[in-house]
Structure 1
Amino acid sequence: MKPSTLLVAVVMTAASAIASAQTETRVDVAQTPEGAIATGTATLTARIVKIDAPTRTVSLKSADGKTTDLVVGPEARNFEQLKVGDTVTIAYREALALSLKKGSGPLAVHERKISERAAPGAKPGGTIGREVTITADVIDFDTTARSVTLKGPKGRTMVLLVGDPERMNGIKRGDRVEAVYTEAVAVSVQPAAAR
Structure 2
Amino acid sequence: MPKLKLLAAVMVIGLAQLGSAQAQTDAGVVKTPGRAAVAASRTVTAEVLSVDPATRTVRLKREDGKTFEVQVGEEARNFDQLRIGDKVTMTYREGLTVSLKKGGGGATSVEETPSLERAPKGAKPGGTIGRQVRVVADVVAVNHKTRMVTLKGPEGDTVDLKVEDPKELANVKVGDQVEAVYTEALAISVQPANAK
Which interval holds the TM-score relative to the shorter structure? 0.7 to 0.9
In the alignment, structure 1 residue 40 sits paired with structure 2 residue 43: no
Q: Which moved more, 1:47-56 or 1:141-150?
A: 141-150
Match of 1:138 in 2: 139
TM score, norm. by length of structure 1: 0.87
**Code of the aligned partner of 2:189:** S
Total equivalences in the alignment: 194
CA distance, structure 2, for counterparts of residue 187 and residue 11 of structure 1: 10
Q: Percent identity?
A: 52
Match of 2:19 in 1: 19
RMSD across aligned positions (CA)? 2.3
Map 1:43-192; keep pairs closer than 5 Å: 43-102=43-102, 103-141=104-142, 148-159=149-160, 165-192=166-193
Given that 1:114 and 1:129 are in contact with CA atoms closer than 8 Å, whether structure 2 keeps it comes out as yes
Change over 3 Å in CA distance of 1:16–1:173 after alignment to 2: same
CA distance, structure 2, for counterparts of residue 147 and residue 89 of structure 1: 41
CA distance, structure 2, for counterparts of residue 178 and residue 8 of structure 1: 25
Change over 3 Å in CA distance of 1:110–1:24 after alignment to 2: same
In the alignment, structure 1 residue 9 sits paired with structure 2 residue 9: yes
Compute the displacement of 1:172 (Å).
Answer: 0.7
Compute the displacement of 1:13 (Å).
Answer: 0.7
TM score, norm. by length of structure 2: 0.86
Which blocks of at least 5 consecutive residues in structure 2 are unaligned? none
Compute the displacement of 1:97 (Å).
Answer: 0.7
**Code of the aligned partner of 1:25:** T
CA distance, structure 1, for counterparts of residue 127 and residue 154 of structure 2: 32
Which blocks of at least 5 consecutive residues in structure 1 are unaligned? none
CA distance, structure 2, for counterparts of residue 34 and residue 22 of structure 1: 36
Compute the displacement of 1:2 (Å).
Answer: 2.4
